[in-house]
């Protein structure tokens, strides 16, 4: 099992996914909720995250640590201060039931020092036809474009097909258990990779984009037959909702 964050720059922190495999460059100014987690204000992003409320990010628990000091929000670039916002991270809250050995409940909330002016991404609370096996989802990040490669200097995206947990468990047998708090996608030459950990997997429902998964772990990057594994947002509602304003754009009624 390999977390998708392990970059030399993070040294003693985590080992994880870093870039999008066979992705395309995101148009500047699109998907501005995508966030890079940085050690320094203008340094390279080592993990991804998603803005879910003006002062809160949702990322992977295995991205948490003293290294995670700044959030780069709405930037098209891996590093620097050319665009977007750079806001200090003041608090990190890991899911109380996160298991580092199994990667169960791989969620964390990062609190920002000041509010972002960027629109948050809505969250997916229900698993229905929009998250069914075979449906296309989207992943975005600044990770490496191949296992062990260098990070992308710009934000990339790729379309990935969702797997059933049962089929994913068969494909990854011996690598790690696929638990209810997880979902799988990719495995057909498109994937997340080192440095993408904590970043978004989104789905479209009725023309609206929702955050359905958080990039968590995988075997290799983009290897056919080996999907990437994501923390399933719908299973962490009790953990996440205390950080959300009650508005139609950030909540959905339970099914």
Which residues are catalytically annotated? Answer: 62, 106, 197
Q: Report the alpha-carbon distance of residue 223 to residue 211 in Å, rounded.
A: 24
102 CB-near residues (< 8 Å, 6+ apart): 176, 177, 179
Three-state SS at 62: helix
Start-to-end C-alpha separation, the chain = 33
User: Alpha-carbon distance 100 to 55, whole Å?
Assistant: 26
- The tokens describing 116, both together, are 């972002």
The beta-strand segments (E) located in 164-246 are 182-185, 200-205, 208-218, 228-232
């Amino acid at each position: 099992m390999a977390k998708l964050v392990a970059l030399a720059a993070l040294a003693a922190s985590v080992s994880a996914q870093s870039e999008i495999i066979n992705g395309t460059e995101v148009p500047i100014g699109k998907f501005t909720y995508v966030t890079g987690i940085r050690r320094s204000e203008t340094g390279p992003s080592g993990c991804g995250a998603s803005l879910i409320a003006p002062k809160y990010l949702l990322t992977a628990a295995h991205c948490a640590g003293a290294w995670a000091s700044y959030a780069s929000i709405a930037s098209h670039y891996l590093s620097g201060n050319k665009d977007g916002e750079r806001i200090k991270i003041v608090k990190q809250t890991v899911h109380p039931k996160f298991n580092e050995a199994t990667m169960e409940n791989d969620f964390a909330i990062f609190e920002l020092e000041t509010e972002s002016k960027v629109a948050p991404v809505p969250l997916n609370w229900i698993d229905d036809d929009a998250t069914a096996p075979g449906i296309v989802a989207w992943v975005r990040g600044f990770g490496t474009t191949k296992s062990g490669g260098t990070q992308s200097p710009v934000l990339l995206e790729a379309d990935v097909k969702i797997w059933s947990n049962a089929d994913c468990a068969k494909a990854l047998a011996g690598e790690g258990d696929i638990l209810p708090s997880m979902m799988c996608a990719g495995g057909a030459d498109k994937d997340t990779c080192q440095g993408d950990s904590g970043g978004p997997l989104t789905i479209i429902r009725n023309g609206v984009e929702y955050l359905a998964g958080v990039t968590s772990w995988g075997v290799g990057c983009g290897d056919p037959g080996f999907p990437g594994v994501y923390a399933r947002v719908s299973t962490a509602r009790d953990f996440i909702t205390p950080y959300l304003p009650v508005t139609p754009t950030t909540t959905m009624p339970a099914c």
